[in-house]
Structure 1
Amino acid sequence: MAASILQEGFGWNMANGKSIKVWHDNWGFEGLSGNSICLNKMMVKENNVCELLNDNKDGWNENRVLELYGESLRD
């Protein structure tokens, strides 16, 4: 049930994340965009959401997500 509720809240299905821009698109939930990034823009090499996935592409690179978005958006 929780998964269906979450899916309804998303504006799109992330799929592989190659077409979702970290700096320009709202992804995940409203307000998660480049404005949410805690680091200086010069320190962010990622352009697309797919670059935030782990090496196996089966989950997030949790350390990098934490660096970019901070503790409040970690989950």
Structure 2
Amino acid sequence: MTEFRERANSPDLNPIENLWGIVKRKMRDTRPNNADDLKAAIKATWASITPQQCHRLIASMPRRIDAVIHAKGAPTKY
């Protein structure tokens, strides 16, 4: 078995990217004064992501896989 040392190039198939997108959108208007405030804001925002949001992302995986296959590996809307 060969070990690959490259990072995965399939963000369309990685729901964590979408979770970070949610955090980014929710924090768009946040203006932390220092690193500790930033860390606290990220933690609070991350904690506000609901289990339902996570379940929806996981449930979207079959559609994501189909989209990547249809796009022949090119980027998709995900």
> Could you say which structure has the greater relative contact order, defined with CA pairs below 8 angstroms and 6 or more residues apart?
2
TM-score normalized by the length of structure 1: 0.22
TM-score normalized by the length of structure 2: 0.22
- Decide which structure has the larger Cα Rg and report it: 2
